[in-house]
A and B are shown apart, each in its own frame.
Chain A
Amino acid sequence: MKLRIKFCGGCNPIINRSKLVKAIKDELGRAVNFEIVEQQADVGLIVGGCPVCCVNLSQIEDQARHWVVVGGYLLDHKQIPVDQLPQKVTEKLLEKGGDKSC
């Protein structure tokens, strides 16, 4: 699986973004072979530090076929307990990244 990771700028994060990404990579690595790419990803992950999630998706949308968006404790707009984020995000990545349709 080709994975694109895009961080927000991190001005006022309420979650530890690097720690979250490390945990997701660990979890994902146990389920599937993946590589980090900048373009043409099967799935992209936006890591926003807070619910504002101010990364402008329209500017990077073409870098991945599907996107999963984390904004603080929100995963694709749904609130998730912070300790469950790595697992839930990984599930979403596998679900969307495995889908080869456009």
Chain B
Amino acid sequence: MALKTPQEYLDDLRKMNINLYMFGEKIENYVDHPIIRPSINAMAMTYKLAQDPEHEDLMTATSSLTGEKINRFCHLHQSPEDLIKKVKMLRLLGQKTGCCFQRCVGMDAFNAVYNTTYEIDQANGTNYHQRFVDFMKYVQENDLAVDGCMTDARGDRSKRPGEQPDPDAYLRVVERREDGVVVRGCKLHQTGMINSHEMLVMPNNTLKDDEKDWAICFAIPVDTPGMIYVYGRQSCDTRKLEGGDVDTGNKYFGGQEVMTIFNNVFVPNERIFMNGEVEFSGTLVERFAGYHRQSYGGCKVGVGDTLIGAAKAITDYQGVSKASHVKDKLIEMCHLNETLYSCGIACSAEGRKTAAGNFLIDLLLANICKLNVTRFPYEIARLAQDLAGGFFVTMPSEKDFANPEIGSLVKKYSTSRSDVPVEHRQRMLRLIENLTMGCAAVGYLTESMHGAGSPQAQRIMITRLVDLEHRKELAEKLCGVKENTDVDWK
């Protein structure tokens, strides 16, 4: 079965035995939990659109491992065209869900692990790459969702993993057995974790020789014994418990982040893809982060499209759409959004083949992409809030609109253009709230800031990848500080 239906995907989740806590309580049926379900719906869209002839050209690819048609989220990129189509696919998903749809982190992780394991084996004569290829075939043949798992709890940020007072601040090997290892630690912020079948765990940093226990990369099923999950709160999350469908803003979809605790978890040898090779930890981190920084040039742009659409709609509903400053602000939002997209496309078009055969984005341009992403969605959100007016943060609840005593008055004073139903205005304002300060702002704003690394991480990469001395010499030659041998004609 190369392509799963959304229903088959949901059925898979129902069969999983997940040890999950939320609001201090154990959650038994998480698939139907009103706070969690929108995030499952968002992931389900990655399955749904792959079945749709109007989207399959982006949503599917031909596997380089099996020759079968697979979901592009399971694909190892084989060309710059594949990298570009990935960005377009993520934009499409952002447009359709208006939130984080969670499946890209795994795709970015396994593209990075695929080419890094190949290079480890070349250098050390190990057998990780073939193991990983076997794992990837299993993922592709069963159309699995995989969580990409990198960020540790990290403890004191000024200390390295090996220097932490609590060594579990970074996930590590605590026991080595003949048939595998036992790991302990915690990965924070895990996007879509309990909506995934498998997780692919990677080290968080460049490690030193005496930090071999932290240099561990592996994959396990999400319902492996010893795993404990604690659901992350999102702003306004309990509105989903109120039973309405207006105040949530996004009626169908949402994101998910989960605190993921590895409480002495066994990993069998055949699922280990790095074990102590500290010299490759930096390469793996850099490549995963690079792929993920490219991703944001697609997914955040798609969500941006929905916010621009919401801003346009609300200016129509409120009767200001003809004002020149309104048009100007909408254009500015588009300009910012398409700039992000341009960066996503550019780092893909400049992608290169790795020794393993899959394609890697241009790392400099991917970091430029992500650094812009740390800023532009905030400006787009600011402009949307400017155009929306203040009612999206002061508007009464949908229950007040429905109240038999005051409902008609609430509606009367919430009406803007008389030919626009008040409920349309109400819904659109709630969507803007959702995207700029509610549940979806987790993905659209804060994840834009910190996801795939905080802005300083991109600046460090840019410093490494840009040759400033070369630029200095260009200037020195032009102004005559250095001899310019190019001009050799009389």
> B-contacting residues of A (Cβ < 8 Å)?
5-12, 17-18, 54-56
Majority-rule SS of A interface residues = loop
Interface contact A7-B57, CB-CB below 8 Å: yes
Q: By the criterion CB–CB under 8 Å, are B89 and A9 in contact?
A: yes
- Among candidates B53, B56, B81, B92, residue contacting A11 with C-beta atoms closer than 8 Å: B92
For chain B, residues 422 to 462, give those with C-beta under 8 angstroms from any C-beta of chain A.
none
Residues of B near any A CB (own CB < 8 A): 53-59, 81, 84-85, 88-89, 91-92, 95, 302, 305
- Determine whether the beta carbon of B56 is less than 8 Å from that of A9: yes
Nearest Cβ distance between residue A50 and chain B, in whole angstroms?
Answer: 10
B57 touches A6 (CB 8 A): yes
**B362 → A minimal CB distance (Å):** 19
* Pairwise interchain contact B91-A10, C-beta atoms closer than 8 A: no
B contact residues around A8 at 8 Å (CB): 57-58
A5 CA / B56 CA spacing, docked (Å): 12
Q: How far is the CA of A10 from the CA of B59 in the complex (A)?
A: 10
Shortest CB distance A44–B (Å): 13
A-B contact pairs, 30 of them (CB 8 A): A6-B57, A7-B53, A7-B54, A7-B55, A7-B57, A8-B58, A9-B55, A9-B88, A9-B89, A10-B54, A10-B55, A10-B58, A11-B58, A11-B89, A11-B91, A11-B92, A11-B95, A11-B302, A12-B88, A12-B91, A12-B305, A17-B54, A18-B54, A54-B57, A54-B81, A54-B84, A54-B85, A54-B88, A55-B57, A56-B81
Q: In the assembly, what is the distance between CA of A7 and CA of B88, in Å?
A: 14
Q: How far is the CA of A72 from the CA of B92 in the complex (A)?
A: 17
- The answer to whether A9 touches B53 (Cβ under 8 A) is no
Closest CB in chain B relative to A7 CB, distance in Å: 5
Complex CA distance for A11 and B302, rounded to whole angstroms: 9
Smallest CB-CB A-B distances: 4 pairs: A9-B58, A11-B88, A9-B57, A11-B92
A9 neighbours in B (Cβ, 8 Å): 55-59, 85, 88-89, 92
How far apart sit A54 and B85, CA to CA, in the bound complex (Å)?
8
Closest to A48 in B: B57
**Centre residue among A8, A11, A12, A17 by max chain B CB count within 10 A:** A11
